[in-house]
Amino acid sequence: MPIPNLDELKDAVKKAREESKQRKFKQSFELIIKLPHFDSRKQEYKQNKSVILPHPLKSTTISVFAVGEKRAMAEKAGAAFTMSRDELNALAQDKKTARKVAKSYDYYLAEPELMPTVGRVLGPFLGPRGKMPDPIPPNADVQSLLERGKRTAKVRMKDQPYLSVKIGEEDMSDQEIAENALAILNEIARDFKNPSVEIGSIILKLTMGKPISLGG
């Protein structure tokens, strides 16, 4: 099917709000893209990428693996969790805690010199979740990296004929959520040789809300 335009996406967001009951927690908006011709052998279906969204998701939690000044900067900038090399090494003997660290946060950053340690200790848990950390470049502004992390959506194709991506939160405007959805759809379409054929249907929904179909 063709990619919906911005107005169509805004209408779907509005309808999703109208048809959702009030909940005691802040719900997220999810974009589900069904792929009827899915074939895991085809390269275009082996996606594992980061898409920078136009608008940040405030609830995104970020963990940073760093030492010294970089760690202090990350904590000051609002990282949800930080860990040093020694603490990482200690996790090698505590798989229960390592698994908890790998599942507790949405996005990960690491100083380049810690990447091998992260891979050795947490790779078995982060890798399958598509959450291996992005490296912190030399002389990078950690605050800017954390802000970028809140605008980063992980698009990962598993062994199922659909993609599911978090694109917004209830306290964001319809326009912002629609623009985030369009950014994801355009990025996916660029990877498919024939997106009008490969994308079978698109669904937008709140966490506990009714699915709103945009075709297919």
47 neighbors 198 (Cβ within 8 angstroms): no
- If one compares 182 and 20, the residue with the highest pLDDT of the two is 182
Mean pLDDT of 193-206: 72
Q: What pLDDT, in 10s, does the model give residues 95-105?
A: 999 999 999 99
Q: Is the per-residue pLDDT at 51 higher than 70?
A: yes
pLDDT of residue 129: 86
With H, G, I as helix, E, B as strand and everything else as coil, classify residue 103: helix
Mean pLDDT of 109-128: 94
Res. 197 pLDDT band, cuts 50 70 90:
very low
Q: Is the per-residue pLDDT at 157 higher than 90?
A: no
pLDDT of residue 22: 82
91 Cβ neighbours under 8 A, 6+ residues apart:
83, 97, 98, 101, 121, 122
Mean pLDDT of 71-80: 94
- If one compares 192 and 52, the residue with the highest pLDDT of the two is 52
pLDDT of residue 196: 44
From its phi and psi, is residue 180 left (phi > 0), alpha (psi between -120 and 50) or beta? Answer: alpha
Q: What is the DSSP letter of 119?
A: H
Q: What is the DSSP letter of 112?
A: G
Domains defined for the chain, CATH in brackets: 6-55+154-213 (3.30.190.20), 62-149 (3.40.50.790)
Average pLDDT, the chain: 88
Q: Is the per-residue pLDDT at 160 higher than 90?
A: no
Task: Give the predicted TM-score (pTM) of the model.
Answer: 0.84
Cβ-in-10-Å burial (0-12, 13-18, 19+) of 153 comes to buried
pLDDT of residue 216: 53
pLDDT of residue 143: 93
- Residue 43 to residue 52: CA distance in whole angstroms: 22
Q: Is the per-residue pLDDT at 78 higher than 90?
A: yes
% of residues, the chain, pLDDT over 70: 91
pLDDT of residue 44: 64
